[in-house]
A = this chain, B = another copy of it.
């Protein structure tokens, strides 16, 4: 029997709090889960710094990846099974893509990618194609199989049904993380009737559509998404931690470039500072490694690096205020000047941050080519884009929402000591 069609002697299950059980029958899937690049996802949290606000959010990307796999498995093995529009030979590639779609994530992805101008999707591809255990397993299915999986994740795969299941406006990725993140944080948002949505998903020529009888479950899903973004993902306190993290990496890089003599050398980071890193070096990083450095750096001589690390490790975060940079640009300049006068480096301690990269017009069709809208399959066989049918979705579509915050170390400004008047003046400007 070919490796691709090899089944485990007995189905294996993983106990999962969100989907109850994750079922594995394919030898390929089982082997991929055991690969070290996949096991590494256990050491990277799904929600980065969010655990500093919602203490339950300590779950890893390993968790989530299994969940996405399971959702896709249910779709192809239940909803799509035996439907003429679905090509059964795509089953394995979509299962692998679901399982592996987040493989390239690094520690505290958002901040890390930001500072070093990286893109986790490139790393995912590199792991799939490169010299890794995952690649070795995928190649056993077929020489071109790793590339196929990579194409699905890059959304360039020819069968758009397959792409849709992994990345569209209502894909398995989003359906898993909304429920999972709600479960672990304990918030009451994030619940929707996934079982119903799965039941009404249908393959159609070059897309996946939803029978219109499931529209309300989809509305509920979109509202969940909206609430999760603003209540959890963009929470200003976890962004505060992320701001500090970013500044730590910036500072370490700057120190390294300036020839600063670290007591604890930034061994793992060197190649990232100068852009010469290899895939192997990337894979050596995880959140435990970063936190180990940060703990050691608390006692570095450089007071900025030491202070920022202390803040991150011991959760002494920056305070924040609403701030409209466009409107208050002059105030920002003034604050920078005052910060410097007060001996607080504004480059590290006065940080403007916007969360607006997730508008909710993503449910409008067209325009941004890569965003696959949600299509309803009407009773008469017609296909209509969701926002044309749903008043609620129509209402929130196309309205970009942004949240601007200015972060700063309030404790520096209230502590006793010299320059009290100046600090008081700054504080007044900030409140």
Contacts and interface: CB of A to CB of B under 8 A. Distances in A.
Contacts of A204: none
A396 B392 contact: yes
A314 B39 contact: yes
Interface string A16-39: 111011000000000000101001
A361 B287 CA distance: 42
Q: Which of A15, A16, A34, A314 has the most CB of B within 10 A?
A: A15
Nearest to A192: B188
A39 B55 CA distance: 11
Given A191-B188, A314-B39, A56 B15 contact: yes
Q: Majority SS of interface residues in chain A?
A: helix
B58 A187 contact: no
A358 interface: no
Contacts of A60: 55, 58
* Identical chains bound together, number: 4
Interface stretch (A223-231, A270-278, A343-351): A223-231
A229 to B, nearest CB: 11
Interface string A372-415: 00000000000000000001100110010100000000000000
A116 interface: no
A226 to B, nearest CB: 7
A20 B63 CA distance: 22
A256 interface: no
Nearest to A295: B284
A139 interface: no
Interface string A285-305: 011110110010000000000
A216 B195 contact: no
A45 to B, nearest CB: 8
Contact of A185 (B17, B188, B216): B17
Interface string A177-211: 00000011111110111011001000000000000
Given A314-B36, A391-B396, A15 B186 contact: yes
A392 B390 CA distance: 13
Contact of A15 (B54, B62, B284, B399): B54
A324 interface: no
Contacts of A195: 20-21
A213 to B, nearest CB: 10
Contacts of A174: none
Nearest to A314: B36
A96 interface: no
Given A15-B54, A43-B291, 20 more contacts: A15-B186, A16-B56, A17-B183, A17-B186, A36-B313, A39-B314, A55-B62, A58-B59, A58-B60, A188-B217, A189-B193, A189-B216, A216-B231, A219-B227, A226-B392, A288-B288, A288-B289, A391-B399, A391-B401, A392-B396
Interface of A: 13-18, 20-21, 34, 36, 39, 42-43, 51, 54-56, 58-60, 62-63, 66, 183-189, 191-193, 195-196, 199, 216-217, 219-220, 223, 226-227, 230-231, 284, 286-289, 291-292, 295, 313-316, 391-392, 395-396, 399, 401
